[in-house]
Chain A
Amino acid sequence: MSCVEQMKYDLLLERTTFKDAREFIEKNSDEVYYVDPGYKLFKDYLIIGVPPVAIGVKGSEILFTYVKPCHGTFVMKIESLEEIKRLRDREQEKVKASLKKGQKNESSQTKASSYQELWGKQ
C-alpha cells in the first residue's frame, strides 16, 4: 500500500479512465504541471500514467491521478505546500535549462553567420 492511501485525501473522481482523469485535472486546477511516469510524490508514491502525466495545483492542494489495476483511475486531492513548491521549482529549472539551450543554439547560429560572412569576403 502506498503512503498516499494513509494520508488525508479527497477523491474527486473514482474508477474512471486515465484520459478522463487527466482532462478533469486540466479543467479543475489553477496551475497544471506535466511529469513523466515514475515521478515521486510524497514519501513513496510513484506516478503511474500515460505520459505526459498532469498534476494540478489548486490553492494549497495538489490534484493527481492514482491508478489501481483492478479499479481504474482515481483523481485525488491532498494538501501539500511542499509538493507544490517542488513542482514549481522543477518547472523553473526546466525553463532555465531551456533558455540555456536556446542561448547555445543562438551562439552556434552566430558562428554560422560569421562563417558565411567570411566565405562571402573570399
Chain B
Amino acid sequence: MQEMNQMAEDAPKRVLLMMGCPEVPVQMSIVLYLSNKLSKEGMEVTVAGTDAALKLLKVSDPEGYYVRNTIDIDQLISDIVEKKTDFDICFAFMHSDAGVVYAATMSAISKARMYAVVFGKNAESLADTVEFDAQKIVAKATHNPNPLKNKLDKVVL
C-alpha cells in the first residue's frame, strides 16, 4: 500500500502490464481490471503480449475503454533494448517457466520497478524460481480471479 502511495505522488507514471501466454483465464480479467484501476489513478498504462493475447484483449475491449495502448511483446523488448521506450513500473504476469524468463529479461533491460504477478496451478513453486528483484504477488488462481485480485488490491490502492 505504501509503495503504491509513493507511486501516486509523481503521477502520471508509465506502467507496463506484460502478459504471459494467455491460456490461463484469470490473466485477461486481471489485466483489464488492473489497467482500469491504474488508468483511473492517472497512470499511463500499456499492455504487452503475444499476438494471441492481444487478440483476446481487443475482442474483450473493442472500444479501448480499459486498455488504450498495446504492443507486441517482442517489439516491446526490442524498443526497450534500443532505448526507444521504457516504463516506471512493470507488472509481469506469469504462470509458466517461459513467463518467468520474459519477466527476468524485462528486469535486466528496463529500469522499471518490477512486480511479479504469479498465478496458475503451480503458483507457489513457480514463485520460488523468481530470482530477480521484484515484489511477488502470488495466488493459486486459474479460473477464479478473486484470489489474485484480492492480493493485487493490497498492493494497488
- A residues at B contact (CB < 8 Å): 2, 17-19, 36-38, 40, 44, 46, 48-51, 67-73
A-B contact pairs, 18 of them (CB 8 A): A2-B74, A17-B97, A18-B101, A37-B104, A37-B105, A38-B77, A38-B105, A44-B78, A46-B77, A46-B78, A50-B105, A51-B108, A69-B96, A69-B99, A70-B22, A70-B50, A73-B98, A73-B101
Return the chain B residue nearest A18 by Cβ: B101
Q: Which residue of B73, B78, B96, B101 contacts A50 across the interface (Cβ within 8 Å)?
A: B101
Query: Is B4 located at the chain interface by the 8 A CB criterion?
Result: no
Once the chains bind, are A69 and B98 in contact (CB under 8 Å)?
Answer: yes
Return the chain B residue nearest A47 by Cβ: B105
Tell me what chain A mostly uses at the interface: helix, strand, loop, or mixed. loop
Q: How many residues of B contact A (CB 8 A)?
A: 26
Which residues of A are found within 8 Å of B23, using beta-carbon distances?
Answer: 70
Q: State in angstroms the CA–CA spacing of A72 and B21 once bound together.
A: 10
Query: Is B1 located at the chain interface by the 8 A CB criterion?
Result: no
Once the chains bind, are B97 and A72 in contact (CB under 8 Å)?
Answer: yes
Q: State in angstroms the CA–CA spacing of A70 and B131 once bound together.
A: 21
- Report which residue of B23, B78, B132 has the largest number of chain A beta carbons within 10 angstroms of its beta carbon: B78
Q: How far is the CB of B70 from chain A (nearest CB, A)?
A: 15
Query: Is B109 located at the chain interface by the 8 A CB criterion?
Result: yes
Which residues of B are found within 8 Å of A50, using beta-carbon distances?
Answer: 100-101, 104-105, 131-132
Which residues of A are found within 8 Å of B132, using beta-carbon distances?
Answer: 50
Query: Is B155 located at the chain interface by the 8 A CB criterion?
Result: no
